[in-house]
Amino acid sequence: MYNKNDMTAPGIGYQDLRLMQGYPPPREKQVRQHNWDSPPYNRWSFQHMSQLFPVAAIHRGPGPVSELKRNERSLDDVHFQRIDGRQTDLATFLTDSYTDGFLVLHQGKVVSEQYFNGMQPHTLHLLQSVSKTIVGSLVGRLIGQGRIDPQAHVSHYVPELSASGYGDARVQDLLDMRTGVRFREDYTDPDAEFIQLDIASGWRERGERESPDSIYGLLKSLSKDREHGQFFEYRSVDTDMLAWVCERACGERLPVLLSREIWSRLGAEQDANITLDCVGTALADGGMSATLRDLGRFAQMYLQGGHFNSQQIVPETFVRACGRGSTPAFEVLYGYYTKHYPTAAYSNQCWVLDSEQGTYSARGVFGQSIYWDPAAEVAIVKLSSWPDFINPEWTLDTFRACAAVVEELQRH
């Protein structure tokens, strides 16, 4: 049993906490810019981003909704061993890890669809950095159309960056996050460049800090630390740079491109949305919100090599490369993952778990994830509202839970 007086307990939903309830809500229950990504307020905010920030719709288009066939069964009793050695079952883990939505697809059919914390099938949930993989899919499609050359330099598409840190980076360096720009992805260091990105995107109050007031203004300001193409280092701004390349290559805004080239082709049930900075630039690296089922449609599309809803949406070669990558380039800074996944890597805006088996994932802070096992024909989506930006133990436990589900589905 969870202590109902503990506002951050995993079994307590935002409705139990009465967040943003009342006309108006009491001050202590209000979610605003200064607290929206802190616990327990993120239990509400991740499902209500359009009430906090300006957003642009990523339209689903006029086409019919694509069917998600169903073959449902309970997976609650699936057991696995956590990183700390404890045995647990899936139902307990989903509660313990602040799950908001959980979807399992096997052989193209929904096996499990569960909602927690007030989330419903029509609810849009913040994807955080799972957004990166969706933007990556757009880049893959534009590469397939010949509109983007992965070997071209950023300055080919955005000439005014020729003298900046990004000028001589290749598009493929951005896709694999192997650029050499100076950018510290530290979510708690007030002096880190990531905090400047939060300010530029409108997600964080400026306070006394001096930093660029727009996303592209920040990209222009970044210097170069080392040569591009060397080793992987996670940098959210690489995805924002990819979005700028897409916009310049096509002459249209990112939400329009995502709608026309990806979302409308999935047969999505709902429009998605994406947050905007002060000049209308979409936050490509983490600003998307979508429903659980529609993210499941995206996951199934990748599981099928980019083919979904009777069409090839993303080139198969691009999607298959998401499950393969350079482990030596990855383990320079991320050796703690290769202790558990010896052939881990990063490729095309995806986290590779096993380059030999081709299992991979999309990941976002506060517990957003897609897990793909193409050989087993399984895709698993988990949307969450962790109390912490990053929890390596929960991340690894999520992968273990997914692997246990795959094993169960293959056994039966």
According to the model, what pLDDT value does residue 1 have? 36
| CB contact at 8 A, 103 and 381 | yes
Give the per-residue pLDDT at 121. 98
Residue 376 and residue 411: Cα distance in Å, rounded? 11
Predicted local distance difference test score (pLDDT) of residue 402: 98
Q: Which amino acid, one-letter code, is at 149? A: D
Q: Which residues contact 67 (CB under 8 A, 6 or more apart)?
A: none
Contact 286, 236 (CB under 8 A): yes
pLDDT of residue 4: 47
Residues of the chain with pLDDT under 50: 1-4
How high is the pLDDT of residue 197?
Answer: 96
In three-state secondary structure terms, 66 is coil
Choosing from 129, 259, 355, 384, the catalytic residue is: 129
Is the four-CA dihedral 193, 166, 246, 381 of positive or negative sign? Answer: negative
Give alpha helix (H) positions in 10-81.
42-45
DSSP 65: P
Give the residue from 43, 57, 121, 15 showing the smallest Cα distance to 289.
Answer: 57
Which of 404, 339, 331, 410 has its CA nearest to residue 371?
Answer: 404
Reading phi first (left if > 0) and then psi (alpha if -120 to 50, else beta), residue 13 is in beta
Which residue ranges form the domains of the chain, and what is each CATH number?
13-45 (no CATH), 95-411 (3.40.710.10)
236 carries an active-site annotation: no
Q: So what's the pLDDT on residue 5?
A: 56
Task: Kindly report each contact of residues 219-224 with a partner whose C-beta sits within 8 Å and lies 24 or more positions away, as own/partner.
Answer: 219/161, 219/164, 219/166, 219/244, 220/160, 220/161, 220/164, 221/164, 222/164, 222/165, 222/166, 222/181, 222/182, 222/183, 222/193, 223/164, 223/165, 223/181, 223/182, 224/165, 224/180, 224/181, 224/182
In this structure, what are the phi and psi dihedrals at residue 248, rounded to the nearest 5 degrees? Answer: -70, -35
Q: What whole-number distance in Å separates Cα of residue 383 and Cα of residue 102? A: 6
